[in-house]
Amino acid sequence: SLPSQVKIVEVSPRDGLQNEKQFVDTAIKIELIDRLSATGFQNVEAVSFVSPKWVPQMADGTQVMAGIKRRPGTIYSALVPNMRGFEGAIAAKVDEVVIFGAASEAFSQKNINCSIAESIARFEPVAQAARDAGLRLRGSISCALACPYQGETPVAAVVDVARRMLALGCDEIDVADTIGTGTALRVGQVMRAVTEVVDPARVSGHFHDTYGQALANILAALEAGISIFHSSVAGLGGCPYAKGATGNVATEDVLYMLRGLDIDTGIDLDAVADIGHWISDQIGRKSSSRAGTALAAR
């Protein structure tokens, strides 16, 4: 049976905006995060502390975190690739740090400039420091379905990275379909395999919607016992190191589907749709959320 409740991690401020060529003003990022937390999201992926040469759009993480209104009960997360990033994250008082690796060697090299084994070694002090500071720790596994450079990812490779992230002390582990090529049958297989080694309550699905499969993949993951999903208002997003990868699944579409399944998220679809239109206007894009577009046309 499907879960009765789902936690949505709203990733638009980070995954949604990181690939925008035009720099998005810090004030807009702050307003986006504040609007999202005001609608009741329990977890907002707000910023990343990575090299500004690699991802210039995320260079203002410190200012963004300093400018937001903290909503009690919302967890504000930051991506952190190394100790340098951790120092930035702790100074900015984030609630959760996200270490991000990959199940594919080629993608690991392109995204974070090191092998999978080197990345785990780099994450060790970060994980230790996060635990010492009492912060939540999340581990993200890119290319859990396929890699833009290596093709389909063996399930065993995903399970192997999940095991290592669990050993680092991760509270939550993200299974990410970076390029959105995954389909429901394989998503079910990957999720069942990962949840043999990680408590299903700690596993999340992070689906990009490049091939229009994300909702089906979420349903397959729900059936495999997953109850945490990442999404982005208006379907914003894309990864700078995955050519052609489009946005995350749109939050509006996920909320619409979950409502139809009688699954509680605590989030109001109409309020989120408004945010989706607002941010799309701000950055001059058309919303790629089908539900958001339909709601606006009513």
Q: Beta 96-102 vs 172-177: how paired, if at all?
A: unpaired
CB-CB contact of 208 with 180 (8 Å): yes
In the shown chain, the binding pattern of residues 1 to 30 toward Mg ion, with x for contact by CB under 5 A and - for none, equals --------------x---------------
Question: Is residue 155 within the footprint of ligand HMG (CB under 6 A)?
Answer: no
The footprint of ligand HMG on residues 244-273 (CB under 6 A) is: none
Nearer to ligand HMG, 12 or 140 (CB): 140
Catalytic, 239? Answer yes
- How many beta carbons lie within 10 A of that of residue 56, not counting itself? 14
- 50/233 with CB nearer ligand HMG: 50
Torsion of CA 194, 119, 183, 21, to 10 degrees: 140
CB of residue 6 to ligand HMG, shortest distance in Å: 19
209 binds Mg ion (CB under 5 A): no
**Residue numbers 206-235 binding ligand HMG by CB under 6 A:** 206, 208
- Least separation in angstroms between CB 174 and Mg ion: 9
Q: Which does 112 bind (CB under 5 to 8 A by kind): Mg ion, ligand HMG, none?
A: ligand HMG
Could you say whether residue 148 binds ligand HMG (CB under 6 A)?
A: no
Q: Does 85 bind ligand HMG (CB under 6 A)?
A: yes
How far separated are the first and last CA of the chain, in Å rounded? Answer: 34
Q: Which residues bind Mg ion (CB under 5 A)?
A: 15
Q: Which residues bind ligand HMG (CB under 6 A)?
A: 15, 18, 48-51, 53-55, 79, 81-82, 84-85, 100, 111-113, 140, 142, 176, 178, 206, 208, 239-241
